[in-house]
Structure 1
């Protein structure tokens, strides 16, 4: 008789709870520690984002096998593959910025001035 609550379900639920706890913990950390933690989370190889991307990639491969057997619609495999590719690209974009999270802003002669977080297009 199969276990009523499979281990994979337990792992998925545990990871979701831990991510919720980590998110709540960010608000409790001193401001200078938040960037380092975010850099660890966003690490494309060993961080949460990179590992989640790998999980989706594995799911896409398994979904492809299931779709080829007719057990899943092909759209499931395509959606998982697209999600894994998009996350990979996002990880690459963020990886370029992660160094600034760990090193902080460059030293400048004048004091830092708050800037709006709006990208303006030049025409």
Structure 2
């Protein structure tokens, strides 16, 4: 059975709904499963972040063409380009932690015994 083709606006609305559902599920998952889902979201090839980055990049390329023909202000193209570059940089920064998230998600959960020590919530970034 083939899926009916959604128009792009309906497709965007459906993806937005699905992201909302994923967010709801993520908040309710056990820690190991949530950690694995986050690692999947950050996958540089097939993850949600990569897909959104590609989508914003495509929007930037479209806006560039439109700006060159005077149909959009150049500021729109520049803003989309900056957003795509920032998302790409964020993905690169987070990719360094994806393997750790995946590894932690594979660890058996401890029901008894000593809990891990909490980590400080401030860390210097390395670039």
If the TM-score is normalised by the length of the shorter chain, which range does it land in? Answer: 0.7 to 0.9
Residue aligning to 2:117:
113
- In structure 1, the gaps of 5 or more residues are 1-5
Distance in 1, Cα, partners of 2:31 & 2:123: 24
Distance in 1, Cα, partners of 2:119 & 2:66: 50
Distance in 2, Cα, partners of 1:90 & 1:27: 22
* TM-score with structure 1 setting the length: 0.84
- Which one has more relative contact order, counting CA pairs under 8 Å at least 6 apart? 2
- In structure 2, the gaps of 5 or more residues are 1-5, 108-113
Number of residue pairs aligned between Structure 1 and Structure 2: 113
Q: Does 1:42 align with 2:46?
A: no
Q: Which runs of 4+ in 1 moved over 3 A?
A: none
Distance in 2, Cα, partners of 1:66 & 1:44: 29
Distance in 2, Cα, partners of 1:111 & 1:80: 44
Residue aligning to 1:97:
97
Could you tell me how far 1:79 is from its partner in structure 2? 0.5
Residue aligning to 1:82:
82
Could you tell me how far 1:44 is from its partner in structure 2? 1.9
Equivalent residues in 2 for 1:52-91, closer than 5 Å: 52-91=52-91
* TM-score with structure 2 setting the length: 0.82
